Amino acid sequence: PQITNHKVKAKSKISRGTMKLPGLICVLAAANLLLVEGFENASGFKLNHAAHARHPVYEESPEFIRWKYRNEPLPAEINFVESGYVSPVKDQGMCKASWAIAATGVLEGAYAKATGRKGKAIQQFSEQMIISCANQVNSPDPESNWDSLGCQGGSPVVAMEFTKEQGWNCFTRSLGFQSADGQAGICRLDQFVSMLKYISWRKYCSEFQFKKDMAMGGTRFNNLSIYKGPGLVNSTRLKQMLVVLGPVAVAIDGSRLFYYDPSKGHFSDCSSSEDALSYVLLLVGYGTDSFGDYWLLKASYGETFGIDGYVKLPRGTDRNGNDLNSCGLLHHPFGMSVDAYTES
């Protein structure tokens, strides 16, 4: 069926209740929430090639990213919003945090696929923990060398690597987004107060505390793997990544995205050059409407932007038969797979 504003809006408001009743643990890191709405900081993407990655970043391989059903056609359309694999739209405010927000969306989709917890039961994870801790300024480990700058931009690969290295993440209900004022906030990984004692968050999420943590603030992961398209991908490869992995993070030229008017068609006022990439979104599907074929992406400007927080980019081929690299989204797609944590 055709994707409509009404459907996207209805699904984008699913599980809003998970934002209520802050958890006892991760919430101690939350303070000074200032919501600032606007498009002043559309940028937030910094290149981080796999050659500089701290952990393996797997390219497409015969073992995984290939289309598993070679004799079957790819779906004519995909909408992970309607399928329940996408959490409500967020607003990054004055913080150039699209890199972390999109990566968290990838994690949420991968976790939903692994656990079946989707729709109203989808778990929302904390981009704030990534923004505050996976950066050069606030990291508690002086030798971490995380290649991001918090509210000044970063790469979704860094966000995914950080989550992989930690092996866990807080739920949004416990550590929600606080950086709308443009400040990355304080990282409390090694200085966390509970019952008047300083304990490590790693200690808190250890085996014997796991059940308590599940109830109060976060969860752990097994076998989190990061995947990227092999260089400049084509539309078929990108569809395959969606089918196999779920929602995928993509970077685009977002310099004029705030001019997007859905009533006038799919957004195309942008460059397809790799050098122009500035904003990271969550690719949540593709389809066709009255304006033609499109890619559906979740932005991080709140629900008043675009189609209830979403944007459609042209999909198809140009007059020479080449895939449309709309706004550059074919340059750097990233996804992940994850297994739910199980006690051994």
Beta-carbon contacts of 34 under 8 Å, excluding residues fewer than 6 positions away, are: 93, 180, 181
Specify the range with the lowest mean pLDDT, choosing from 14-28, 147-161, 206-220.
Answer: 14-28
State the pLDDT at residue 217: 60
CB atoms within 10 A of CB 109: 28
CATH assignment of the domain containing 243: 3.90.70.10
Q: Which whole number is the average pLDDT over 119-141?
A: 79
More confident: 137 or 259: 259
Total structural domains in the chain? Answer: 1
Beta-carbon contacts of 335 under 8 Å, excluding residues fewer than 6 positions away, are: 106, 110, 226, 227, 228, 241, 245, 246, 247, 248, 249
- Cβ pair 45, 99 in contact under 8 A: yes
Q: Read off the pTM.
A: 0.79
249's tokens: 């993070």
Q: Which whole number is the average pLDDT over 42-70?
A: 49
**pLDDT tens sequence across 3-33:** 343 344 444 432 233 322 233 333 333 322 2
Which band of pLDDT confidence, cut at 50, 70 and 90, is reported for residue 190?
low
Q: Which whole number is the average pLDDT over 139-162?
A: 75
First vs last C-alpha separation in the chain? 43
**Max avg pLDDT among 182-191, 194-203, 218-227:** 218-227
pLDDT surpasses 80 at 34: no
**Average predicted confidence (pLDDT) for the chain:** 76
- Cβ pair 90, 302 in contact under 8 A: yes
Distance CA 318, CA 263 (A): 23
Q: Which whole number is the average pLDDT over 321-335?
A: 95
State the pLDDT at residue 175: 72
pLDDT surpasses 60 at 121: yes
pLDDT surpasses 50 at 73: yes
Q: What number of CA atoms fall less than 13 Å from residue 27's CA on the CB side?
A: 10
State which residues form the domain around 61.
5-340
**pLDDT tens sequence across 160-175:** 988 888 888 877 766 7
State the pLDDT at residue 288: 98
Beta-carbon contacts of 43 under 8 Å, excluding residues fewer than 6 positions away, are: 96, 98, 153, 254, 255, 278, 279
- How big is the chain, counted in residues? 344
State the pLDDT at residue 184: 84
Which band of pLDDT confidence, cut at 50, 70 and 90, is reported for residue 264?
very high
pLDDT surpasses 90 at 272: yes
Distance CA 115, CA 101 (A): 21
